[in-house]
Every structure is written in structure tokens, then in C-alpha cells.
Chain A
Amino acid sequence: MTRRILAGAALFAAVAVAFGFLLLPIVAIFARVSPGTLVSQLSQPVVTDALVLSLKTSAIAQALVLLFGTPAAYVLATRSFRGRSLAIVLVELPLVLPPAVAGIGLLAAFGRLGLLGSTLDAFGVQLGLTQAAVVIAVAYVSSPLYIRQAIAAFEEVDPNLVAASRTLGAGRARTFFRVVLPLARRGLAAGEALAFARGLGEFGATIMFAGSVQGVTQTLPLAIYAEFALNFTTALAMSALLVVVSGALLVALRLTLQWQPSRPTSRFLFAPSR
């Protein structure tokens, strides 16, 4: 009897420690300063500059990830060719790279003295300390998350549905947009939400490859790092902002994965799943 109570208590303690450990830092961000102060801090130029820059570079980077990642994922998911598994591993590699390594890699590839540096120079392109560099860093670290999820989403589309579409007179492109994309959309949205969240929090590769210049390359995470030595309250306010944005993304992701397309004939909002 006592052993069972003890075991129960130990289990409860473990859960409490885990939750406390995970939640305490987040609670602390909001508990240190009053909400009013936090909101007032958000109007500082260093914050607004970083927010605008983060949103802008994220939007461009994610547009590029979708534009190039979607066809790449579709090919990897549906074609069988020699070295397909290797290709998938290579696509996922940046996912496990330490951000500092990603930053060095980007410098070695696109920096002034990098592999493509002189080529880019010849075209008059200089990436160092520009928004373009931020976009590249964000796209580099976030695209594997999207591509990985997109491959899984495309693999789940029944090949017979694709075949059916073709025999019904739809060419490859029409089949992709009318059948494959609608059926894979939830997986794609989930992957994109993950990639967006990862890109928004990008720090290491960006600071090494693009630097941290306010209004030019200083995204929210970089601004938090810059401010925490100067004005801790401002750093807290920006952190709170990112917590809210990330939390919203997580909720959106959950809803996307659970969402069932509404049917005109389904009468109950929470009908039991079949």
C-alpha cells in the first residue's frame, strides 16, 4: 500500500519537475516586468527595426523555401532513382548541423572569399551585411524542415489518385495542382509552420554570415542578444513577443493537423472520427 503511494508520489514529482523546468523560463519572461512595461518597450526603434526585419526576411525566405522546396520534395517523394535515399539524407543534413557550422559554411560558399564569392562579385553582388544574407541564412536552416515534411506529405498521396487524374485527361501540371497539392496541403502547411518557426528564431548562422547591424541584418533574436547587455527589459519585451508569436504558430500547427475539411452534409462539428 505504502509502496503504491510512494510510487504515485514519485511519478507526480517527476511530472511536476518536467513541467516546471520547461515552463519556468517562459513564465519568468512575463513575470519579471509588468505587461504594461513590456508593451511600452516594444515601441523602441531597436525593437521595431528588428521586428520589421524579421518579418520581411522570414517572408522572403519562406517564399523561396516553398517555391524551390515544394518541387524538390515532390520529385524526391515520387520518383525512384539511384541515390534517392542519399539525396534525402543530404537534404536533411542542415537540420542537424550546429548553427555555427551552417554560418561558416555559408561564409565559405557565398562570402567574399568563398567558393562563389568572386562569381557573385563579377555580377556586382555583395552579400556581406545585407538583408539578402539574412534571407539566405534563414532559408538554409529552415528549408530542410519543410522539405522533410513535404516529402512525407507527398508520399502519402495515393498513386492511384494521380493515375486516375491522368486517365481523366489531366496532364502532369493539372494533376499536381488539382489532386496532389490539395491532398498534401495539410502536411505541407505543418512543414511550413515548423520551418517558419525555425527561421524566425534563427541566430547562429545569421550572426556569423550576415552580422548584426540594426535595421539591416539585426533580426529579433539578434536584437535580443545585443540588448541583453544594454537594456535587459527591452530584451525581455522582445523575448515575450517571440514567445507569443511562437505559441501562436504552435497552436496553428496543431489546428492544421487536426483540421478536417468541412463537409456540407456533416452535421456535427465534433463528429467521431471514422
Chain B
Amino acid sequence: MATLQADFTLPLRAFALELELEVSRTVALVGPSGAGKTSVLRVVAGLMAPRRGRVSLDGERWLDTECGVSLPPERRSVGLVFQDYALFPHLSVRGNIAFGAGGRPVDALLERFRFGHLASAHPQELSGGERQRVALARALARDPAVLLLDEPLAALDAHTKAEVRHELAELLRELALPVLLVTHDYEDAAALADEVGVLVEGGLRQLGTPAELVARPQDAFVASFTGANLLRGHARRGAGALTAIRLETGEDLYSADEAEGDVGVVVYPWEVSVARTHAADADSALNVVRGHVGSLVEVANRVRVRVGPLTAEVTAASAERLELEAGGIAYATFKATGTRLVPL
């Protein structure tokens, strides 16, 4: 499989985008809006020129500011899917796809993306999901060596999104291309990519598989961005192997991680159990937070419950058994081994 290498500095308005990245499978860059995600794709595609840097594909130099090499976009073998798809409004579906194909027949692509009856329709007549497929098919028509996706799911409504995400994940596996995608949604990134990089203010905070990011978030931002609860507290060496943390609210928690001083306490919603009562003699390996039940949000067959400062994810069945209701008192419990400490 080919490998895309990028290493560059691009001054943006508020900060400089600095990135070193190697893409051979699917890599997702996630980050809040304004983190410079789209600019990364534009630099790789040749639509933006960084101040310093190199971009190459398997040793084929696309950009090298030191040698004054900068291939124009049309000479870089990339397929870029724009966030708003940027379909040509004056061309039909077939015309849009043929534009990228450069004279090669596109019937196979039209069939693969199920455009049979839509081939002569114009983009304005398509649904969001259909437009997304046209944009993908068009980008692939050029037979690119690298695929770049800018927020591929952001423009879709929730209903379409789940389906398209599944299809897209399958397609990316089949293609076996280096894929660089950017999204503000960590769940999308985790579902689509082999590796996820968290991009904040132009810098890569952490890069790893989705499992690695969740197991060892490097800092508070990565933790909360990947969906964890984040509590603030002060850590001191406790008795035995555990670190004791005094929360700002006065409660004590324990973690198997070692730390001292001000820390962020990280716990993921699926590691938190909820109960209506709590026996006071429980051991310190089990953390307990007592609080009022806030919102109850059903997501598929699970329920997200807010207990005090924590979000817990429990099955719909246990939520019903517990007879949880907003305003009531509940106990959120989680293991000290599932409690991670990150620097603040």
C-alpha cells in the first residue's frame, strides 16, 4: 500500500498549522472547528501553499519548499471530497463523474455507486446522501492514489448519516488507499479510521488507534473530545497502590494511575454504573459520586444518564429497572482501574 507523507508549517490567521503525518491506511484528523483541519487537506491537495514543508507519495515529491517543488493540484494524484461536495451544478451526475474520469468510461462507476436512474439528474435534484455518493464517485473517477475527505458526514441528517457512515467505512476498506479524512465528530472518526489524530489549534495533540486514545488519553482535551467525563481535582499519594484525588466538590476518588498535584480525572460513560442506593462500606477500589439525576437521553438501546457532574451510559433495561427520573438522587460508581488521570 502506498504511503503519503506530509510535514509542513502553514501560518493561519490565529496560529500556525504544524503537522507531521504519515498516512498509509485511513487516518482521521479530529478537532474543533477552526483547528485547521480543512487546511491540512488543502495543503496535501495543492490548493494551499505552506510556508515550509514537504508532501510526498511513496517518494514522489509533490511539495518540497526547500527545493522549490510544488506540483499544481491537477498533477497530484488525489481525490478530494469537499465538505459541501462542490458538485458542478451545470453538469449531470454522469457529467460530474466523467469530469474526473478524463475520457475513461464511467459506466462501471455509475453502476457501483447505484446511479442507474439518476445518471442524467443534476445535483440540485439529489438528496444529501446521493450528493455525497456523487462526490465520492467523482473523486474516485480519477483513480487517485490518495483519498481526502473533508467532513464527509457533516452535511447529512442524522437518519442518513448512520447508513452512509456504514457504507463509507466499507468502501474505504475495499479501496485499500491511503485515506486522510477530517471531521469534528470523534465518533465518525473512530468508526471510519484506523488511526485518529486529535488536532487542536494547528497542532497534533495525540495520534493513535481509537482504542489507544480511549485507553490512554494524553491530556484533558483529548479525553473530553473522545467522549470522556472530565472532573478536576488534586492528587496525592494514597495508601497502597492507589492515588487519591480530592475533587473540587470535596469528594474523594481513587485511581490506579500515578500522579500528584492538579489533575483531570477521566472516566468514560460506559465504565460508570448507576444505582439508587449505595452501601457505605464499599472498598476504595470503587469510586462513588452521589448526585441528582439530570437529563436522560436514549441513544439506540442505551440511555445516557447525567448523575451530578458525570455522564453514565446504561442499558435501557437497567434504566427502566432503576426507575430513574430527573431530579432524583442516584449514585454513579466506577472502578479505580477505569479511572485515568491526565495533566490539566
Contacts and interface: CB of A to CB of B under 8 A. Distances in A.
Contacts, number: 67
Interface string B69-89: 000111010111010101111
Contacts of B141: 168
Interface string A162-188: 011111111100000011001100000
A160 interface: yes
B125 interface: yes
B116 to A, nearest CB: 14
B122 interface: yes
B102 A169 contact: yes
Given A166-B47, A167-B80, A265-B125, A158 B86 contact: yes
A183 B125 contact: no
Contact of B74 (A169, A183, A263, A265): A169
Contacts of A158: 86
Contacts of A166: 46-47, 72-74
A14 interface: no
Given A160-B86, A164-B86, A263 B125 contact: yes
A31 interface: no
Contacts of A182: 90
Contact of B99 (A160, A178, A274): A178
B72 A171 contact: yes
B73 A167 contact: yes
Contact of B84 (A160, A165, A274): A160
Contacts of B100: 168-169
Contacts of A160: 82, 84, 86
A169 to B, nearest CB: 5
Nearest to A179: B88
A83 interface: no
Interface string B132-143: 000000110110
A36 interface: no
A167 B78 contact: yes
A209 B99 CA distance: 49
Interface in B43-102: 45-47, 72-74, 76, 78-80, 82, 84, 86-90, 92, 99-100, 102
B120 interface: yes
Interface of B: 42, 45-47, 72-74, 76, 78-80, 82, 84, 86-90, 92, 99-100, 102, 120-122, 124-125, 138-139, 141-142
Given A161-B88, A167-B46, 10 more contacts: A163-B86, A167-B80, A168-B141, A169-B74, A169-B142, A182-B90, A183-B89, A263-B121, A264-B92, A265-B121
11 contacts: A163-B45, A163-B80, A168-B139, A168-B141, A169-B102, A170-B74, A170-B99, A178-B99, A179-B88, A263-B121, A265-B125
Which 9 pairs of residues, A with B, have the shortest CB-CB distance? A166-B73, A168-B100, A164-B86, A160-B86, A167-B80, A182-B90, A167-B73, A169-B74, A163-B47
Interface of A: 158, 160-161, 163-171, 178-179, 182-183, 261, 263-265, 274
